[in-house]
Structure 1
Amino acid sequence: MPDLDDTAAPERPLLLIVDDDPLISDSLAYFLAGTFEVLTSHSRAHCTRLLRQLRQPPRLALVDLGLPPLPHQPDEGFALIGELLALSHEMRIVVLSGQHEEALGRHARTLGATDFIAKPADPAQLRKTLLDSLNFQDPPQAATPLLGHSEAMVKLRTQIGHYADSPFPVLIEGESGSGKEIVAHQLHQETGRKDKPYLALNCAAISPTLLEPTLFGHAKGAFTGAAGARAGYFEEAGEGTLFLDEIGELPLELQPKLLRVLENGEFQRVGETQSRQSRARIVAATNRDLKKEVREGRFRADLYHRLSVFSLSVPPLREMGEDRLLLLEHFRQHFAQQGRQGAFDLDPAARAQWLSYAFPGNVRELRNIVIRLTAKHAGQTVTPQQLAAELDLPALAEPNQSGDDRDALMQSALARLRQDGPGFELDRFLAQWERAYVDAALHLTQGNLSQAARLLGINRTTLHARREKSGRGGEDSDVS
């Protein structure tokens, strides 16, 4: 196990393995030890406590979906994916699932996992998947513009321009994976403070006992381990921007001190009585419903109102139309250059499938899909079948399917409903499946409507009507 207090960067990347079976975790650790420095954990709760002791989070995690307390249920594994990404947005997560749980593995990717592997895992393939996930690094925030021409993205950029030079706080809200940290950085870049410091602090990544001295600084001897006085983020930000990510994780007892800074700029280092002044512009972000948190007593109403003088809502990817193609091109070229290999391309049917997919995991899911396609199909043209293997589109249950298959599909449906809640739309989800099968049939028959209809088990008139309904009528020829 690595030394939790060691500040030296390890020569091998740190890999976190989370599995409740010690035989599996020990075997994986033994096999992967030559490539990675391995840290193991046996549960979601233990993992969270362990990571908050580290000075830097691991760059890579391998997570078993079937964590306790309920064996062979994905809830704990799904929840841990969200918690790990809250601790570090850059972390790459590969999940392990059972042989009959492919649908669960696919869904884990919509929650932010880079990829999944069925158990028992082939050791060589596991190592390759982990290295592929790690080797593709995101472009820096400064080189990641807010791409898009959709109405939702134009509105967001307009609001950023309006709010940029105001000294008042800005609250950025949006679904997980939608790119809130990119919006925060863009907000800083468009202000007169852009030459001043830009500091970002993830409130979920630090132990609650260390969050106060991290924010406000501390005097020498203020607590065990405080060998000298140290400035906190509010001081170090100076007259620049302080971005507080995952603000919904701020402990309730610390919220009045943040409120005081927002109201009059005053704060004190831990262990001091001297008041100091902050002139930093505060930007906060959350994927939580803070109004609900206020109603349930986990977030102060007065702090919420101070933080949300201006609010920005980052649109989910499903509302951005053809902007999904711009993001595809952005990441496709970036990862191809990084891997020093040719970029993949999508054939026309796969391109249509890309536009029809809802991307429930937003930009993070899109990025991970591009990473997998780059690793598997560099320099090639991707077909709908190859693309479908990377999407969360499990096969529809058939009457003769086994009980295991039906159970896996039901678990996938349960997971999606838990994630999307009231935002789930059955008609849209089923229409997405229908478009994917229609596109695949047309691809296989080279656009021949009659042959595609026979392949799908419907008549030509029905196929034409369904294509007209989806806005794709007239795109293909029928040579029959």
Structure 2
Amino acid sequence: MLLPSAKPLLLIVDDDSLISESLGFAFAQEYDVLTSQSRGHALALLRQLRQPPQLALVDLGLPPLPHRPDEGFALIGDLLALSPEMKIIVLSGQSDEGNARHARTLGAVDFVAKPCDPSRLTELFRQALRFGNEPQTAQAGGLIGESLPMQRLRLQLGQYANLAYPVLIEGESGSGKDIVASHYLHRLTERHDKPFLALNCAAISPTLLEPTLFGYAKGAFTGATSAKSGYFEDADSGTLFLDEIGELPLDLQPKLLRVLENGEYQRVGETQTRVSTARIVAATNRDLRQEMRAGRFRADLFHRLSVFTVTVPPLRETGLDRLLLLEHFRKSCAASVRTEPFQLAAPAQSLWLDYGFPGNVRELRNITIRLSARYPGQTVTAEQLRAEFDHFDTPEPATGTAMLVAGDLEEVKQAARRHLEKASPLNLDATLELWQRGYIEAAIELSAGNMSEAARRLGINRTTLYNRMESWTRR
């Protein structure tokens, strides 16, 4: 276990030991460096730390063989689950804008193609740390937004805040479920002076979840050299926030159900019954009703967790709220480094409002950080802003997208006609490939990097999905 240090902690994950060791040596004067060769090893390493790293440098092409970017994409989600404030920069042997955009959408702050210049990385690390110290939200830590979905959410939270019953928070990745839990369902309640503990069920090894939640007795398993309390005990009569509850192993779900029913639990290796008075708040970006139908989540546990259910709306449904968030983040970024905030030109502002932000508030914040670093005090053009977006989520071409999904031949034909009138002569193969790639990347984003889920959304098997993605790099 690393001892506390005045230096920021940097995690480098690359399966090429020569690269990770040379970069570690280059950054050793400025950072405490941890190196890892795989996603699994990196997560095991981080679970031994008292505090997560402030920075991470992640290669997308991680093992197992053959190397594919989904391991790197998945690691981005894992790291942000462990620490939402971690600043992640991704590396790739392929200078692929699609991978770059997807990595940013998942929460990475920037993308660098190999071979990478250490001086360039040093500047990116410094920018990430400088711009990462501003508060995440305004309104004393609350949610920013005046749209009807946000007003409805605040009204619900005000009704449920001081009740002792569990609350289930639903919403997409990056939408702010953790802020709902910590701010509205704890700090603004009568439990505000009691502990608030958060545990991400996806960030802990399944074998460690039970002792982490319930504690364990001395000698309960190899390495248990002394007794230790768990999260339920440490939360006392405060709030226990269980994030990504859909990842809870099926064999552990009855034990959580027992706590919800009567507060009773036992430490691993003990027969003594203990009682928890903590208020349980859970969150998920999965559809737990679908998980129940698939037999992966117990119906009785779902009904116990969802006495009250609130849904954090995705950013694409909150209209002008994205301008309020832009205003907050650009000012706080500028204040953190004492520069003038950037402005958006009128066409860029329209583009901002049209963009769907598939990564929600986290993506919006990271885009604002990058614009603050690159254009301090300047007016950002539409073209400069477009370079930060996932091109398949922008409104171009707005006509035809919904029609293609609708599956009506006549509507598709009319959309194609409009496209041909604007872009004739047309490269049909390139156009069809562009649409295919757009749907694949959209499915991966909606599935938070889970390739099996993305394949299911697309109606193809996982092998076919990989083959189609690999065909991009061969061209």
Partner of 1:160: 157
Counterpart of 1:262 in structure 2: which amino acid? L
Structure 2 matches for 1:164-313, cutoff 5 A? 164-185=161-182, 186-313=184-311
Q: Distance in 1 between matches of 2:70 and 2:246?
A: 21
Structure 2 matches for 1:39-118, cutoff 5 A? 39-69=34-64, 71=66, 73-98=68-93, 100-118=95-113
* Counterpart secondary structure, 1:270: coil
Q: Distance in 2 between matches of 1:358 and 1:62?
A: 27
* Counterpart secondary structure, 1:143: coil
TM-score, normalization by structure 1: 0.79
Counterpart of 1:373 in structure 2: which amino acid? L
1:213-238 CA deviation, whole Å, 9 max, x = no partner?
32223334434444444332222222
2:121 is aligned, of 122, 126, 139, to 126
Gaps of 5+ in 2: 398-422, 447-453, 459-475
Gaps of 5+ in 1: 425-480
Cα distance change, pair 143–221 in 1 and its aligned pair in 2 (3 A) = farther
Q: Cα distance, 1:375 vs. partner?
A: 1.2
Partner of 2:335: 337
Partner of 1:417: 443
Q: Cα distance, 1:35 vs. partner?
A: 2.2
Contact 2:339 2:376 in 1 (8 A): yes
Count how many residue pairs are aligned between Structure 1 and Structure 2: 418
Q: Distance in 2 between matches of 1:197 and 1:80?
A: 29
Contact 2:149 2:313 in 1 (8 A): yes
Cα distance change, pair 155–411 in 1 and its aligned pair in 2 (3 A) = same
Contact 2:78 2:203 in 1 (8 A): no
Partner of 1:444: none
TM-score, normalization by structure 2: 0.80
1:83-136 CA deviation, whole Å, 9 max, x = no partner?
222222222111113454123202210111111112222221111112212332
Contact 2:88 2:109 in 1 (8 A): yes
Among all aligned residue pairs of Structure 1 and Structure 2, give the percentage whose two residues are the same amino acid.
63
Q: Distance in 2 between matches of 1:234 and 1:391?
A: 42
Partner of 1:463: none
Partner of 1:347: 345
Q: Cα distance, 1:79 vs. partner?
A: 2.1
1:359-398 CA deviation, whole Å, 9 max, x = no partner?
0100000010111111111222222122122222279999
* Counterpart secondary structure, 1:167: coil
Cα distance change, pair 299–53 in 1 and its aligned pair in 2 (3 A) = farther
2:30 is aligned, of 31, 35, 39, to 35
Counterpart of 2:179 in structure 1: which amino acid? I
1:307-345 CA deviation, whole Å, 9 max, x = no partner?
111111110000010000111111112221211222212
Cα distance change, pair 408–101 in 1 and its aligned pair in 2 (3 A) = farther
1:9-63 CA deviation, whole Å, 9 max, x = no partner?
2332222222223332233222222222222222333333333343333222111
Contact 2:171 2:285 in 1 (8 A): yes
Contact 1:14 1:60 in 2 (8 A): yes
Q: Cα distance, 1:412 vs. partner?
A: 6.0
Contact 1:103 1:408 in 2 (8 A): no
Q: Cα distance, 1:72 vs. partner?
A: 6.3
1:139 is aligned, of 135, 138, 151, to 135
